[in-house]
Amino acid sequence: MTTTTDLPAGRARTRTATSKQPKRQREGAAWVFLSPWVLGAAVLTLLPMAVSLYLSFTDYDLFSAPHWVGLRNYTQMFTEDPRYWRSVGTTLTYVVIAVPLQLGLALVVALALKNMKRGKGFYRSAFYAPSLLGASMSVALVWRAIFNDGGTVDHLLGTGGWVNRPGWALLAVALLTVWQFGAPMVIFLAGLQQIPGELYEAAQVDGASRWRQFLSITVPMLSPVIFFNLVLQTIQAFQVFTPAFAVSAGKGGPADSTLFYTLYLYDRGFVASHMGYASAMAWVLLLVIGAVTAVLFRTSRSWVFYASEGDR
């Protein structure tokens, strides 16, 4: 934050040598220009977060005043609530299934598009469209209809409905996410185009196979982009809500098989009116996502390769 505010100010000093305004006045101007962002951050992000942190230590039914209970919400969550752990299990299963599938598909399609001479723009848009549409409620509802009994999948595969069977419902939700591989695909595509063609030419001269080229050139050169996509999609997967809500009609069913963490949080907060408990769940989720991201960053040192590092 400090770097972004200092930078323009520093530049202003060197460029406009005539500037004789005192430092405080210039700072004042900076604050004026920053104020919309600062206000937004304070009112829409920091204040709600502080309130939710406070609520997480209370018993709050949305209607009467919050009642301080200390750590009870947290202890109840970890020791007395089997559904809480079920929601954790569901979410982790989902992250482990959906994220690799989605990134894998995105990479494969990006590789296919990379060397395409004609129609690249069309396919790029066509594959990207689901990412724009997919987050919407209506697409999730269509998804539910497709995977319901009597739906398209039932007709084509004869497997019956997926969304009304506990063993299959989670997979139906995961497929909805995988289908929205467009955003990471576009980023992969951009990354692929940054890899210098000489590397491949040199490798071909040395007689390296396509697979060898992929493993030794594409993957290391693309690793910062893979890392970026991995972090982004993992964080998103932990917070998935809309598809699960729509596909299970807001209940996380059948038999709690799509009870995602966020869905259970919603259920506690807005259906059962235990807003304190829901707030506590939100904070645990925040900490877990923070921890997972930290772990990803730590492991990245051993496999992410930045071209600029070689110059140093």
Residues of this chain that bind other proteins (CB under 8 A): 44-45, 47-49, 51-52, 55, 59, 61-65, 135, 148-149, 160-161, 164-166, 232, 235-236, 239, 241-242, 249-251, 253-256, 262, 265, 269-275, 278-279, 282, 286
Give whichever of 148 and 218 is closer to other proteins, judged by the CB atom.
Answer: 148
Q: Least distance to other proteins from the beta carbon of 51, Å?
A: 5
Q: How many helices, marked H, and strands, marked E, lie in the chain? A: 17, 2
What is the Cα–Cα distance from 130 to 97, expressed in whole angstroms?
19
CB of 222 to other proteins, least distance (A): 21
Least CB distance to other proteins at residue 8 (A): 24
CA of 116: how far to CAs of 121, 128, 197, 221, 294, in Å?
Answer: 10, 16, 15, 20, 37
Please tell me the total number of residues recorded for the chain in this structure.
312
Least distance from other proteins to the Cβ atom of residue 226, Å: 18
Give me the half-sphere count of Cα atoms (radius 13 Å) on the Cβ side of residue 95: 21
Tell me whether residue 107 or residue 278 sits nearer to other proteins (CB atom). Answer: 278
Neighbour-count burial for 227-260, b at 16+ CB within 10 Å, e otherwise = bbbbebbbbbbbebebbbbbbbeeebbbebbbbb
Place of tokens 């920091």: 46
Nearer to other proteins, 126 or 145 (CB): 145
CB of 217: closest distance to other proteins in angstroms?
A: 30
Between CA 64 and CA 52 the distance in angstroms is: 16
Minimum CB–partner distance for residue 109 and other proteins (Å): 20
CA–CA separation, 271 and 250 (whole Å): 10
Give least dist CB 164 to other proteins, A: 4
Amino acid at 11: R
Q: Which is nearer to other proteins, 133 or 208 (CB)?
A: 133
Is 40 or 121 the residue whose CB approaches other proteins more closely?
40
Q: Which helix (H) or strand (E) holds 59?
A: strand 58-59
Indicate the residue among 59 and 92 with the shorter CB distance to other proteins: 59
Cβ-based nearer residue to other proteins, 146 or 218: 146
Per-residue tokens: 281 = 């769940």
Alpha-carbon span 192 to 200, nearest angstrom: 12
